[in-house]
Structure 1
């Protein structure tokens, strides 16, 4: 199947000859072909006693304050899924697009799974706007220092041992560490989540590829709106209709390529390679 028609190819060729940036905004849908379930799918819930909690409840500062070890069990289980996962063709296509565009390239990702770096995307051109499961930090904010993520292999129904619980404590103050991720009840900031940096990138973006994200959070929405306000092109790559696809279809600079990122991105890569 071919995703790029002649009109879009002309627009991409015109962009290529200009000096504005190619920015790729990625979400959880990019990693589904690597076997990582999204936060909001049917496998996202977590049982504590006889109560089922949804991701929007588990991944919160409120829940961490009330049940820190249950939150850690949930995140450790997800971390170990990510640890075993491998990048797919979409991740590698993004890496090759970075090689082509070099300093004209930026990657803004909501993904915390580390697969972009397994595919060798550069850290200096990558903005982790939802944090990363590679790092933890003090849950009491005794400092802003980031620590390695606790290496605790945990299956879904396993309990933590006393020795494992000790690994979850801040080496400075002894309170619990927390995963270095943006929780559902927290706000974006520059310090941890590159809010201002991402918006500066959006202002310089001539082509924005939106990959595997439905637009459920505010910063991605602001990035897309900023690109459109400066006559940038947006291309939503998603098999399902969503906020961004609906927005794209309303704009003269917007396109929706209805397909899997692991199929669409390699075609875009091959097009730019041919120029």
Structure 2
């Protein structure tokens, strides 16, 4: 059952044209078999050296060992490419269909599963990028290139790059190596690639924010939650473990912490929002 305070806040948002927003992280894709960067599968071996994802997924390493970073990226891409959306993704799609412009999805995931589930581009903000695109590693332009055809992904493991793949992974303009269109660990959020200003604006228009499956270790999600609270909005964390947001919300009047996996919660939430939308429609 959805807590009464949340139900009342949904009704308030619908009547007052406040956004009901969702800030989601890697936990929402766990049922689809996608490991997190910070988990035990986030390591990468090269020769005798083991890298943490936080080390290999950086511009610093790309600048000196671009092919090693691209091998790591292609391995990650091989996992996300064949993954399928789970119940949580489909519930977010159905919730968007109910709320329309009252809905915003702010996702830290680069796995394309929101797209596969049917969430709209207009209301989905991918603040860590998108595995379906690449761009020039030398930043000769800000153009995004679709992921190139002709690269082996199925059962890729830790394969070496072939000569053909090396050629496909070159910028169309300057012939430098392409890089994945993702936010690396030593980079900063911006509007051009990661919609920083857009999501900060949305946070100030949000009356109810659901934070799902994220540890909250990056700055922009933290600021989003604080902005919602500062504007007297309600923030609800759904997670199976403590996070940055648990500490932020524990003493807040408008903060709620729910220890649950995402799918059962979103399924119940979708039913409640549907009831509220039908009731509001019948009254109008």
Secondary structure of the residue aligned to 1:31 is helix
Greater Cα shift, 14-23 or 107-116: 14-23
Task: Check if 1:46 corresponds to 2:47.
Answer: no
- Aligned equivalents of 1:226, 1:59: Cα separation in 2: 29
Secondary structure of the residue aligned to 2:134 is strand
TM-score (norm 1): 0.96
User: What's the offset of the Cα at 1:18?
Assistant: 2.3
- Aligned equivalents of 1:192, 1:172: Cα separation in 2: 19
Find the counterpart in structure 2 of residue 95 from structure 1. 93
Give 1:140's match in structure 2, choosing from 132, 138, 141.
138
Confirm or deny: 8 A CA contact 1:46 1:58 kept in the other structure.
yes
Give matches, 1:98-117, under 5 Å: 98-117=96-115
- Aligned equivalents of 1:257, 1:13: Cα separation in 2: 20
Confirm or deny: 8 A CA contact 1:170 1:176 kept in the other structure.
yes
Confirm or deny: 8 A CA contact 1:77 1:153 kept in the other structure.
no
- Aligned equivalents of 1:231, 1:7: Cα separation in 2: 14
Secondary structure of the residue aligned to 2:92 is helix
Find the counterpart in structure 2 of residue 157 from structure 1. 158
Secondary structure of the residue aligned to 2:228 is helix
Secondary structure of the residue aligned to 1:43 is helix
Task: Check if 1:223 corresponds to 2:224.
Answer: yes
User: What's the offset of the Cα at 1:13?
Assistant: 3.1
- Aligned equivalents of 1:256, 1:101: Cα separation in 2: 23
Over the aligned positions, Cα root-mean-square deviation in angstroms equals 1.1
- Aligned equivalents of 1:9, 1:104: Cα separation in 2: 15
User: What's the offset of the Cα at 1:217?
Assistant: 0.2
Greater Cα shift, 6-15 or 220-229: 6-15
Task: Check if 1:202 corresponds to 2:234.
Answer: no
Give matches, 1:237-248, under 5 Å: 237-248=238-249
Structure 1 residue ranges without an equivalent (≥5): none
User: What's the offset of the Cα at 1:274?
Assistant: 1.7
Greater Cα shift, 145-154 or 155-164: 145-154
- Aligned equivalents of 1:194, 1:75: Cα separation in 2: 22
Greater Cα shift, 97-106 or 149-158: 149-158
Find the counterpart in structure 2 of residue 29 from structure 1. 27
Q: Deviations over 1:221-258 (max 9, x none)?
A: 00000000000011101111111122222211111111
- Aligned equivalents of 1:74, 1:140: Cα separation in 2: 19
User: What's the offset of the Cα at 1:156?
Assistant: 1.9
User: What's the offset of the Cα at 1:164?
Assistant: 1.1
- Aligned equivalents of 2:117, 2:61: Cα separation in 1: 33
Find the counterpart in structure 2 of residue 236 from structure 1. 237
- Aligned equivalents of 2:77, 2:244: Cα separation in 1: 28
- Aligned equivalents of 1:16, 1:259: Cα separation in 2: 25
Find the counterpart in structure 2 of residue 126 from structure 1. 124
Find the counterpart in structure 1 of residue 67 from structure 2. 69
Secondary structure of the residue aligned to 1:79 is helix
TM-score (norm 2): 0.93
Secondary structure of the residue aligned to 2:23 is strand
Find the counterpart in structure 1 of residue 11 from structure 2. 13
Find the counterpart in structure 1 of residue 281 from structure 2. none
User: What's the offset of the Cα at 1:213?
Assistant: 0.8
User: What's the offset of the Cα at 1:91?
Assistant: 0.6
Secondary structure of the residue aligned to 2:160 is coil
Evaluate the alpha carbon distance shift between residue 174 and residue 7 of structure 1 in structure 2; reply closer, same or farther with a 3 A threshold.
closer
